[in-house]
Amino acid sequence: MTTWCKRAAMLAALVLVLAGCTQEGFNPIARAGADQLIARVRPAPDAPATPPAVLTRQDIEALGVATIRLRLVEGGRGSLFYGAAQNADVTTYVTQLRESVGLRGSQVVSTRGLGTDLLRATSSPDDPLARPVPPGQWPARVERTYELPAHAPRGRIERYSCTFSYGEVRTIAILTVEHQGVEVTETCRGPAGEFQNLHFADLGSGFVWRSIQWTGPQQGLVDFEVIVPRR
């Protein structure tokens, strides 16, 4: 088991148990590109059974859209999510099943269809996940707010204060492309409890290429990596 996988398992254990996306607004070009890739791995109904095609980085980059691979840490299977819509600084990524994740930079701000939805997440203006900052310049503290499902107009709102600690510098490969960066552990505490996130930040720009982030007490942690970043 790799260091990252061990850390992911540890983070999953640290999460405290506290007590379909529509197509409207999707970029039709991005949707067409996603459908083109889906067709390559989904055989026609009358085609003989064959092993599914394995998508390469070249296949994915040919789409010309931002792409991430994401899974739920607890029992989830990794899927490709394609950038399908843009609203200000938030990119909505979707799968062939219309599951969706909203990212502001590398900050998870919403999920739909993965489990128990994260309705909305916001953070301090200087959040280094939302706007890349070189690792040595990350703020000492970031405030995070999560809107979670509940019987109320805005759901249940939980607030956390988060600090960062730095780990080892190393190189990881994401679908054949190597990135050099530093592991950053984020510890968040609030009235409802505490949790930890884990990030892999580019050594130069601070862009987070891979991240394990909390999305609520029921859905837990998601683990994602950026294959093709938003341009």
Q: How many CB atoms are located within 10 Å of the residue 191 CB?
A: 8
Q: Which of 147, 13, 149 is nearest to 74 (CA)?
A: 13
Check if the beta carbon of residue 181 is closer than 8 Å to that of residue 172: yes
Residue 82 Cα distances to 11, 72, 140, 176, 186, angstroms: 26, 17, 33, 19, 27
Superfamily classification of domain 3-228: YmcC-like (2.40.360.10)
Q: Which residues have CB under 8 Å from 63's CB, separation 6+? A: 30, 33, 34, 36, 37, 82, 228
User: Are the C-beta atoms of residues 201 and 207 closer than 8 Å to each other?
Assistant: yes
Measured at the alpha carbon of residue 63, what is the angle toward residues 58 and 65, in degrees to the nearest 5?
115
Q: What is the pLDDT of residue 191?
A: 96
pLDDT tens string 90-133: 999 999 888 999 999 999 999 999 989 999 999 999 999 999 99
- The span from the CA of 29 to the CA of 210, in Å, is 26
Q: Could you report the per-residue pLDDT of 109-118, keeping only the tens digit for each?
A: 999 999 899 9
CA distance 138 to 182: 12
E strand map for 46-148: 67-72, 79-87, 90-94, 100-104, 107-112, 120-123, 141-148
The span from the CA of 79 to the CA of 198, in Å, is: 20
Mean of the per-residue pLDDT values of the chain: 84
What is the residue extent of each domain of the chain? 3-228
Closest C-alpha among 99, 93, 20, 103 to residue 63:
93
Whether 44 has a pLDDT exceeding 70, the answer reads no
> Which residues, including other chains, have CB under 8 Å from residue 56's CB and lie 6 or more apart?
175
Percent of the chain with pLDDT over 90: 66
From the list 145, 143, 146, the residue with the least C-alpha distance to 161 is 143
Residue positions counted in the chain: 231
